[in-house]
Amino acid sequence: MASLSKRLKIRESSLPAYLVFSQSLASIAPLSSTAAYLTATLLLAGTSSGIASILGVLMYSLWVYVGYQLSRFFPSEGGTYTFSRHMYPERVATILGWMYWGSYMFYLISTSTYATGVLLPLLGAPISIDRLMEVVLPSAIVLLMITGIRPPLYYSLVTSLVEIAVIVVLGITVIAHRGLSLVPLTPSAGLSQVLSGAMATSFSIAGGGAAFFLGKEARGKGKTVSKSYLLAFLLASGAIVFSSIYLVTAGGSTQGVENLANTGFPGLTVANQYMGESFASAMLLLTVNSLIGSLIAAYVALSRLTFSLLRTDLPKSTLIVGSLFLGINGVIAGLGNLVQWYQYFFLGSLTALFITHASLSLGLPKIRNKLALSLLKSFPGILSALLMMVGLYSIYLEVGEELVVGILACIVLVMVGVIQGLISRRGEGKSNIS
């Protein structure tokens, strides 16, 4: 245990900028994001997906602006929880902290279940193996996490950069074969379709804020975190916009793009067509690996958020997260129907994330004096909050009453925050009496 405590100890100003960048880029997971959300963009916006993806990046940049400002001024291991403590009373901040905690925990479960229940079958794995891998994958992540923070972040850095390289190589090959085309940037779809596609793209570049939780450990503190966060966003955004352009170019027409999107994995189809089966197989394996990188980034963030919320040591926080991760995945493996459970936890994660992002965005104007921001420079916070609410509404339009799952998850998280607040107040009261 002493060795574990030493490996997992938070060491102030110990992480170089490139590892903080690794945490941010891996949490966006370029290849798996392209596989999941960019497919939705193609389905919704069709040949206008290039426009939709650019608009989606511009929309999400409002939240990136908020996150950049907050991470620059309030570096800590508490990340978004620390941000909320500077904006709101402690009880409200605790509730928001637990909602962020739930968002990350649900993300761990949904992403690992997506890998085992959706991607493994694409690899040709036997149906019976998905339940086994539902337990094996989180076990492997937990074992990797207890080696300390550096090995997982080095792993994520290399694999994330390889993912970007794969996207670029495939895109250049497609354009070399098909030639440059203005079709992806031509407004052929309706406004509502383009906006829906833009929102799907916004989802695809979410996640870089996992770097916020390394504020205390980063060399250069907030300056390093904010710059790494911005750089990861710009790089991932560029890759995803480029992907949408070359996928539309490969499709060539409205029907061609629709056919690509209906395959469920258009990038893989295009890779197979233009680069051959070996490249396509490597791309699929890297997509699974992309999910693993995002799981590592989420675990790193969640262990530090747990550390801040429970005010315990990091080894215990890491093991608490690992026990819950492994336990819940074990239950899912026993129950079966992995795709359904993926959808439930995905909705819970997105709902909690959007509500808390909106809360922090609205809080930006409240603390603009602390951040040395003018009223005009704090206005993107209000626009970002509106974007998050539009995001929730678009999810409702997509899934209908299933969004109740996400709302119920948020209610449970609010109750956890309220209970912890009451316990803390009672503890403070006893201290004052004694």
Q: Look up the CATH number of the domain holding residue 298.
A: 1.20.1740.10
Specify the DSSP element, H or E, that contains 24: helix 17-28
Q: How confident is the model at residue 42 (pLDDT cuts 50, 70, 90)?
A: confident
Name the nearest CA neighbour of 202 among 41, 364, 43, 380.
41
Specify the DSSP element, H or E, that contains 417: helix 403-433
Q: How far is CA 407 from CA 326, 358, 367, in A?
A: 24, 15, 28
Q: Tokens representing 362?
A: 């609205």
Contact predicate 68/212, CB 8 Å: no
Q: Tell me the C-alpha distance between 175 and 294, whole Å.
A: 29
| pLDDT of 35 higher than 80 | no
What average pLDDT does the chain have? 87
Q: What is the mean pLDDT of residues 128-141?
A: 90
Q: How many domains does the chain have?
A: 1
Q: Is residue 430 part of a domain?
A: no
| Least confident segment among 25-39, 146-160, 174-188, 277-291 | 25-39
Q: Is residue 202 part of a domain?
A: yes
- Which residue range is the domain that position 358 belongs to? 2-424
pLDDT value at position 428?
57
47/183: higher pLDDT:
47
Taking the CA atoms of 108, 100, 370 and 388 in sequence, report the sign of the dihedral they define. Answer: positive
Q: What pLDDT, in 10s, does the model give residues 63-100? A: 999 999 999 999 988 999 999 999 999 999 999 999 99
Q: Which pTM value belongs to this model?
A: 0.90
pLDDT value at position 433?
44
pLDDT value at position 430?
52
Specify the DSSP element, H or E, that contains 313: none
- Taking the chain, what is the end-to-end CA distance rounded to the nearest angstrom? 34
Q: How confident is the model at residue 385 (pLDDT cuts 50, 70, 90)?
A: very high
| pLDDT of 163 higher than 80 | yes
| pLDDT of 434 higher than 50 | no
| pLDDT of 187 higher than 90 | no
pLDDT value at position 126?
79
**Phi, psi (degrees; rounded to nearest 5) at 44:** -85, -45
Q: Is residue 432 part of a domain?
A: no
Exposure letters 80-118 (e unless 16+ CB within 10 A, then b): bbbbbbbbbeeebbbbbbbbbbbbbbbbbbbbbbbbbbb
Q: What pLDDT, in 10s, does the model give residues 332-382? A: 999 988 888 988 998 898 889 889 999 999 999 999 988 888 989 999 999
3-state helix, strand, coil in the chain (%, to 5): 85, 0, 15
Q: What is the mean pLDDT of residues 138-163?
A: 87
Contacts of 367 (CB under 8 A, 6+ apart): 86, 87
Place of tokens 């992995």: 338
pLDDT value at position 4?
64
Q: Tell me the C-alpha distance between 20 and 190, whole Å.
A: 40
Q: Is residue 431 part of a domain?
A: no
Q: Is residue 434 part of a domain?
A: no
Q: What is the mean pLDDT of residues 3-28?
A: 84
Q: What pLDDT, in 10s, does the model give residues 191-240? A: 778 888 888 888 778 888 899 999 999 999 999 999 999 999 999 999 99
Q: Is residue 417 part of a domain?
A: yes
| pLDDT of 398 higher than 80 | no
Q: Is residue 238 part of a domain?
A: yes
Q: Is residue 429 part of a domain?
A: no
